[in-house]
Each structure stands twice: as structure tokens, then as C-alpha cells.
Structure 1
Amino acid sequence: MKTISQYVGGWLLCAAAMAMLPACAILQPVEQGQKLIGAPQSTVRSTFGQPTGVYQLADGATRWLYSKQPMGYQVYAADFDASGNLSGFRQMLTNAEIYQAKVDSWTKRDVEEHFGKPREPVQFFALMKREVWSYRFRQDGMLPSLFHCYFDGDGVLRQVQITLDPLGGDSNRSK
């Protein structure tokens, strides 16, 4: 005969396993992309398709972004060296990447190179005189949230904000 603590322990183990399932699904494209490190652009394109954005970075590298926005929580970056070979592949909408945004330094171009063009409607707050771009992401890998970037009239990032996603979370959303 099982005790209540055994039932609760089993339930907690099952709940923890279920909570990890979305994280496993999200990591699969990153793992697949990282296996292609050193491959030419043609191999990456045949694996992931046409990128949603292509950027020439200041260091001479090229970045392809694969956005799952507006309803998905991911933007994947495929970075290529000057020879056109894949040098890195990662998910850009993570806490670590978002916290790199430099207020009073980054411009719209910097934000776009990191997270892609906004796919949520761009907002303008007249009293603040700020244009706001928003991106869905999972804060700490779990909590459905929005990352907001506030730009002044010169296109300089002046404020960032993280709020809860009013649409909530759904593990069936685009990965």
C-alpha cells in the first residue's frame, strides 16, 4: 500500500517531467543548428529554409535570423564567418541575450540584428515620444513574457521592459 508521500512524490516527478517537455522541443533547432557548425550557407538554408532576416555585422560576419514571432517565442540566429561557413547557432530570445541590450547605446539596427524586425504591431506612445517594439519570449525559459524596446525619435534605445504575455502560454505554439 502506497503512502500519501509516495503519491505526491510521484506526482511531483511527473509534473517536473511534463514541465521539461517544452524546453526539450525548443532546444531541438539549436542542437540541430550547432551540429552544422562549419557547414556552408547552402547547407543551413536547406536545413532551416529561407531566413526571415539577413544582416551584415560590424565584424564582417553575416547573421541569418529565423523568427517564429509574433506568436512563437523564438528567434534563432545563424552566424556565418567571412568565408560563409556557420560559426554559431543560438536562440536569441533568452534572458542572457535580452540582458545584453544596451540602453542609451543601441539603436533600432542593433535591436533588429539581435532579435529581428518586430512582428508584433509597433506602438507609439505620444506622451513619452517613444516607439515601442515587442517580442514574445519565455522568461527564465518558462514564463510567457514580452520584451519591449522603447526608442526615442533618433532611434536610440532608451528603455527596456519585460511584462507578462497577456495571451498566456501554450506549448503548442510555433517552435
Structure 2
Amino acid sequence: MSVLRRLGMGASVLVLAVLLSACASPDREKPGARRADVLARLGAPHSTTALDGNRERLLYSTLPAGRQVFHLDFDATGRLERVEQVLTFARFSGIALDHWSRADVERAFGPPMLVERVARFDGDVWTYRFMDDYEPRLAHIHIDRAGTVRQLLFTDDQPPGDDRDF
């Protein structure tokens, strides 16, 4: 088999895999779906959290490249109760400064897109990309060395190559 033909077959397989994976998305899951079926379609979640009443939450994230994090909540029988996309301005605004911990942030939003340090803050800044209505935004959560959220800032997310003067 020629090299070009093998490359063509490899590209076809890759395209098919991308198309099939595009069909599986947390926001397409319907209430009542069985946990095992959801896992078979979506794969392993980023994290699992126990909820009251023997319920369970699975967290699926599209970060770092995407702008969505989904909570899939299951009842005690393993049936999907609800799907919620949580990277929203309202959800970020609900962070209780000086009360939330690093663990609370990760449980609510999953891993950040970026972790960095800045000169005027003694701790880490966790950055999440999200959409605020139709505007791309960034949420910057400042977590001190003790692991407590101290500050929350929002900025516009300027796309690469967008050199508009502001």
C-alpha cells in the first residue's frame, strides 16, 4: 500500500473519530439517562462529588480551550436529574470572598484554564474562560497561599490576532 494511500486512510479515520466525538456532549444528555450510559458516551469525568441523599455530581470540562464546564447530577438510583453549564457570570459572582477555598473553586468549576502569579498578590490566580451572553470573558480568581479566595476580577477575552485599540 502506498504511503499516500495510508495517509489518506489515516486522515479518514481521524475525521471520523472527530465527528463521532462531536456527537457526545454533556449538554445533549437528557434527564432520566442512566449513569452507566452517560459514562459510556462521555467517558470519565474530570471529577465526581457526592451530594446529599446519595446523589452524585459528575463534572465535565472543555477547558483549557473551551468555555464550558458541565455539572451532571444523578439521583440515588443513578438516573440523570439535570445538566447545568456552570461557567457563567452569575455562578462566578456567587463565589463568597474570604469563605470559599481552593477546593470549593475546583469542585464548582473544575480545573482552571491558567494558573499564574502576579506581583501584587501573594498566591495563585486561577483563570477561567467563559461566555457572558455573547461576549468572551475571563474570570480571575485570586487564591492566597492558605487556599482562601480573596478576590475575583473579570476581564474581556481578546481573541488572538485582535489588535483593536481599546
Would the TM-score normalized by the shorter structure come out above 0.5?
Answer: yes
Amino acid at match of 2:150: R
Alignment map for 1:41-56 (pairs within 5 Å): 41-56=35-50
Question: Quick check: 1:69 aligned with 2:70?
Answer: no
Match for residue 128 of structure 1 among 121, 125, 129:
121
- Secondary structure of 1:125's counterpart equals coil
Residue 30 (structure 1) shift: 6.2
Which of 109, 113, 122 does residue 115 from structure 1 map onto? Answer: 109
Query: Is 1:148 aligned to 2:144, yes or no?
Result: no
In the other structure, the counterpart of 2:153 is 161
The one of the two structures with greater contact order (alpha-carbon pairs below 8 A, sep at least 6) is: 1
Quick one: structure 1 residues 30 and 50, their matched pair in 2 at CA, closer, same or farther if it must change by over 3 Å?
closer
Q: Percent of pairs identical after alignment?
A: 36
TM-score with structure 2 length normalisation? 0.72
Relative distance call for 1:42 and 1:96 in structure 2 (3 A) is same
Paired positions, count: 138
- Misfit runs of 4+, over 6 Å: none
Tell me the C-alpha RMSD between the 2 structures: 2.4
Partner of 1:32: 28
SS of equivalent residue, structure 1 residue 44: helix
Distance, in Å, in 1 between the alignment partners of 2:53 and 2:148 is 21
Q: Secondary structure at the match of 2:117?
A: strand
Alignment counterpart, residue 131 of structure 2, candidates 130, 135, 138: 138
